[in-house]
Amino acid sequence: MSVARIAVMVSGGGTNLQALIDAQESGIIKDGKIALVISNNAGAYALTRADKAGIPAEVVLLKDCKDRAEFEKRIEDLLSEYDIDLIVLAGFMSILSAEFTGKHPNRIINVHPSLIPSFCGKGFYGLHVHEAALAYGVKVTGATVHFVNEIPDGGKIIMQKAVEVMEDDTPETLQRRVMEEAEWKILPRACQKIAREIVRGN
């Protein structure tokens, strides 16, 4: 295999998707190619980012499916259709079932906006993570890229980066700093690392 075909799954703004697109253009990601974007939200700005970059995008809505199993089956069908090797969850706000994750061991990675095992697991997503970090009063937080298994945010850690919490931070300012200083840096690097392992047959 010369290049690992990547599907990026998104739900919202897609700044992490943008970081991946930019990293592909700048050559930070060289053993992977973003071949597909899947969104579970038809209004996600991430879809516009995919369009601007000329990347095929598909929308799969839970409300159009009779149950979660059908929702995941539609995603599986797309992954096969586009011949995907690596799945990257970049702000994908839906927990995938153990059945789904079990089919792709070490082939799904996720970016989480804290230093796992702090502020992670069920209910900890998006801004809530930063609200929890500020409420606890931690002075350092960060981001983690990890493999996805049947335990929410419980898979093996691939990369982490720490970010300082400022005295006057709000959840929004902290979220932005964690994205800029950590997520947008480690997600592309982790993606390249795993893509390279896939290409080399590891």
Q: Pick the closer one to ligand GAR by CB: 23 or 111.
A: 111
| Residues within the interface to ligand GAR (CB under 6 A) | 10, 12-16, 46, 90-91, 111-113, 125-126, 129, 179, 183
Nearest residue (beta carbon) to ligand GAR: 91
Q: Pick the closer one to ligand GAR by CB: 10 or 35.
A: 10
Residue 149, Cβ neighbours under 10 Å: how many?
18
H helices, E strands: number in the chain: 7, 7
To the nearest whole angstrom, how small is the minimum distance from the Cβ of residue 162 to ligand GAR?
15
To the nearest whole angstrom, how small is the minimum distance from the Cβ of residue 172 to ligand GAR?
11
Residues 6 or more apart in contact with residue 1 via CB below 8 angstroms? 85, 198, 199, 201
Short-list 78, 77, 68, 2, CA closest to 38: 78
Using an 8 Å Cβ cutoff, are 149 and 174 in contact? no
**Token match 């898979």: residue?**
155
130 noted as active-site residue: no
Q: Pick the closer one to ligand GAR by CB: 105 or 123.
A: 123
Q: Pick the closer one to ligand GAR by CB: 32 or 91.
A: 91
To the nearest whole angstrom, how small is the minimum distance from the Cβ of residue 42 to ligand GAR?
15
To the nearest whole angstrom, how small is the minimum distance from the Cβ of residue 29 to ligand GAR?
16
* Distance, CA of 157 to CA of 77 (rounded, Å): 28
* Active-site residue (options: 112, 128, 130, 146): 112
* Distance, CA of 119 to CA of 116 (rounded, Å): 7
Q: Which residues are catalytic, by number? A: 112
